[in-house]
Amino acid sequence: MGRTSPANAITAIVVSLTSAALATALGFAVADQDRPAGRDYTALGGGFGSDYSGSGYQTPTYVPPTRTRSSSPSYPTYPYPTYPSSPSSSEPPTTTGAADTEESARAALEEQVSQDRATAETLIGQWVPQLSSKKPGMVVGGVAYGYVEVWEDFESLHAQYPDAVLLWSGDYPTYKNADYWVTVIPTGYGTGEAANAWCDARSIPSDGCYAKLLSHSGGAEGSSKPRG
């Protein structure tokens, strides 16, 4: 058998080494293809040739996604309607007396005269039944008169004779004294006797009703006719 030349020997060695290296590379590629995809094998023990289900493998733990629970839903709020409170029916209405003081009584007398003046003017030159003449400071029947009592006197007579009117004696010169509040019936007569007949027909005492002449001229003399 002949001797192998050095060149051929070197070529054979190179081919042998190349074949071994190629076989090793192919073995690694096949091993990689057999492993399940998606796993990290760098943490596994035993190198590429070890069983990946061994003690070095950790089973992945499923962690559910975290949900942020929203707070309770909010709803719009509306104010309750308010209603004005109705006055209690048990509470009586409050009233202020029209003439419960001297000042208010005097004001009431003056206002009444002003209201009745137009009616009184229709009686000028005629005789009228006079029911009362009062002023503060006088005493009649044990009653000391002030403005309150004068007003009450008029109200009492007006309640009995609703058509009665109030005069201020200072507006008529037929009155001797110019500071009296006078209550008369607004019915005019041509004579004093006729006016007194009105008083007689109602049985009013003589000192509580008699004839009086209303005028803007003349004087007090002869302007009154007492009942006999």
Q: What is the mean pLDDT of residues 166-184?
A: 97
pLDDT digits (tens, 9 = 90+) for 126-142: 999 999 999 999 999 99
DSSP 207: G
How much is the pLDDT for 82? 56
pLDDT recorded at residue 8: 57
CA-based R_g, the chain, Å: 66
Alpha-carbon distances, residue 19 vs 13, 49, 154, 160 (angstroms): 10, 21, 151, 152
pLDDT bucket at 100, cuts 50 / 70 / 90: confident
Taking the CB of residue 81, how many other CB atoms lie within 10 A of it? Answer: 5
Q: pLDDT averaged over the chain?
A: 76
pLDDT band at 48 (very low <50, low <70, confident <90, very high): very low
Q: Do residues 127 and 225 lie in contact, with contact meaning Cβ atoms separated by under 8 Å?
A: yes
Strand partners, 132: 183
Q: What is the pLDDT of residues 176-214, one digit of tens each?
A: 999 999 999 999 999 999 999 999 999 999 999 999 999
pLDDT at 12: 57
Quick one: what percent of the chain has pLDDT higher than 70?
57
- Render pLDDT for 70-80 as a digit per residue (tens, 0 to 9): 555 555 565 55
Greater model confidence, 13 or 29:
13
Q: State which amino acid sits at residue 99.
A: A
